Amino acid sequence: MPTIAFQGIQGAYSEKAVYQFFGADSQTLPLKSLEEIFSAVENGQADLGMLPVENALTGSHPLAYELLMERDLRIQAEVIMRVRHTLMAAPGVKLADLKRVRSTPQSLRQCEKFINRRGLETISSFDTASSARDLAETPQPDLAVIASKLAAQIYGLNILQEEIEDAPFNYTRFFVLGNDDPPRAQRSKTSLIFSARHLPGSLYRCLGEFAERNINLTKIESRPRRNRPWQYLFYLDFEGHWQDPVVEAALLALLRQAGFVKMLGSYPIATTPHPEKAL
C-alpha cells in the first residue's frame, strides 16, 4: 500500500482528498509544508504526494505552482474534491452559545453569509484541522471552528451544522505527485510550463500551435518568473496525452516558438462531482 504525503495534520482537507482518491484505508504522512511533500516523495519517505493547486472560488495556489516549476516530480493524477465546511464546537456547546468562530481566512470568506447571519466574530488561523485539534485540547464555551467533518470525528468535537459554505460549487483541485509517469489513460490531460520570447506575437504563436491542431486548452495562467524580474511563465493545461501524435506535433512546434518548456505530466482527466443541493 503506498504512503501518500500531504500538508497539514490529521483531519486536513488534503487528507480527505487522499481518502477520496485512494480509499479510506490509505496510509498517509502529514507534513508541515508543501515543500516537504516534494522532499518526502523525492527521498522515498512517501510514495506519492497530494498537492492542492487551485480552488474554484479563490483561484490558484501560487506556492504550489512555483514548486512544480522548481522541483521535478511528475503529475500522476488530478483529484477534484468538493469542499464541505462543517461548524463544530466542544461537546455540550450549542449553536446559540457561540460568539466567535475560528478558521483559515479562505474558509471564513467561503462561509461569510452564514457567519454574518449569526453575528459571529471571526478569528483567523493557519490551518483548519489544527484549529479543531486546539479547540478539542482547550475547549471554550463560546468558540466554534470551521473545518472538515473528518476533523470533527478525529478530535471528538460536536458537529453543530454541516455544509455551511455560501456556494455549493466550492471545489479544490489537487495533483497526485510521483517520480514516474502514470500509465496512459483513455482520456488524458497534460500540464506544462512555458515562457514566450520577448517578441511581438510570441504568445499568440505559442498558443496557435494548439489551436491549429484543434487541441482544447482547459487552463492558462501567468506567474512571475522568480529569477527574472518582469518576465513571466505560463502554466498550461490541455486535453490529450503527450504521446498522442497530434499533441506530440504541437509540443515540438511549441519548443520552436517558446523560450522555455517544462512538461509536468500527462494524467487521467478527473470528473467534477456535482453538488447535491441546488444553486
Give yes or no: 234 in active site.
no
Residue 272 binned pLDDT confidence (cut-offs 50, 70, 90): confident
Q: What is the pLDDT of residue 230?
A: 86
Concerning whether 172 is annotated as a catalytic residue, the answer is yes
**Domains assigned to the chain:** 3-82+171-178 (3.40.190.10), 86-162 (3.40.190.10), 188-268 (3.30.70.260)
Q: What tens digit of pLDDT does each residue of 124-172 get?
A: 998 999 999 999 999 999 999 999 999 999 999 999 999 999 998 899 9
How far, in Å, CA of 144 to CA of 54, rounded? 26
Q: Could you report the per-residue pLDDT of 92-118, keeping only the tens digit for each?
A: 999 999 999 999 999 999 999 999 999
Predicted local distance difference test score (pLDDT) of residue 277: 45
* Mean pLDDT, range 30-52, rounded to an integer: 98
Confidence of residue 279 (pLDDT cuts 50, 70, 90): very low
Active-site position among 86, 128, 172, 190? 172
User: Which candidate, 104, 264, 266, places its Cα nearest to that of 182?
Assistant: 266
Catalytic residue among 6, 22, 174, 234: 174
pLDDT 10s digits, 10-31: 999 999 999 999 999 999 999 9
Burial string for 170-197 (b: 16+ CB within 10 Å, else e) reads: bbbbbbbbbeebbeeeeebbbbbbbbbe
